[in-house]
Structure 1
């Protein structure tokens, strides 16, 4: 146990906690070919020894590659949604602090408007037809003309109506 930077083994399980320095493959588990103990002589022996040398060299290369490759799919580290949101909030806070200190406060903008929760559905929707665009343009022209000319309200009746109250 101990501090978060401790690299001691966990005393309960006997296995170290996985971290960035933990080997993914067991170093004791080798892929090297077993040595040949044939006692042949002559041309046959040299051809087989060359073949064995090539195989052992190939096995060394494969073992080196297997040791150097990091298999990220083998680590089952999944985060839950609330952890994801906490991290996103923390990263946004850090980003705002860095931008505030750099003097570039106004340059950070969110690319998606707040009202759009599923941008993929908006982008996958069919485009707006020219008839609908024309309808919107005509309606906006009529509204702007009405506002320019001034909106006048004529009083015809009371806006508040009393229910259940006798009229004198």
Structure 2
């Protein structure tokens, strides 16, 4: 008996029949007016809800018999254009490798730096660091002197 109940539960529609008449979602909030006395936070939230509702793709309307083929084709073209626009803008990223390098192939194909040169640079940096750490400043005069107004 439980098997038959679960089978009927699986074949039940998730969205009611009436939901596809208006596109599958309640559009009553589109007609709401923003009350200026409710504050900026409420109007900002309402704008976010309206913007999100405009971008919703209603999958229940695809199986609806109320929609004409031309409407479906128009929606498909509209979604395809939005998708292509989003994808093309996301692919326009800066190339990190070529920033500041005129010919990256020449730089990457050049021979490696000799280890003797690397050792020389490391020793020079160590000597410079030691010299800077040995610098001592001796004060000869006061840095701040009293200012007297006559």
**Structure (1/2) with the larger helix percentage:** 2
Does 1 or 2 have the higher relative contact order (CA < 8 Å, sep 6+)? 2
Q: Same fold (TM over 0.5)?
A: no
Relative to the length of structure 2, the TM-score reads 0.30
Decide which structure has the larger Cα Rg and report it.
Answer: 1
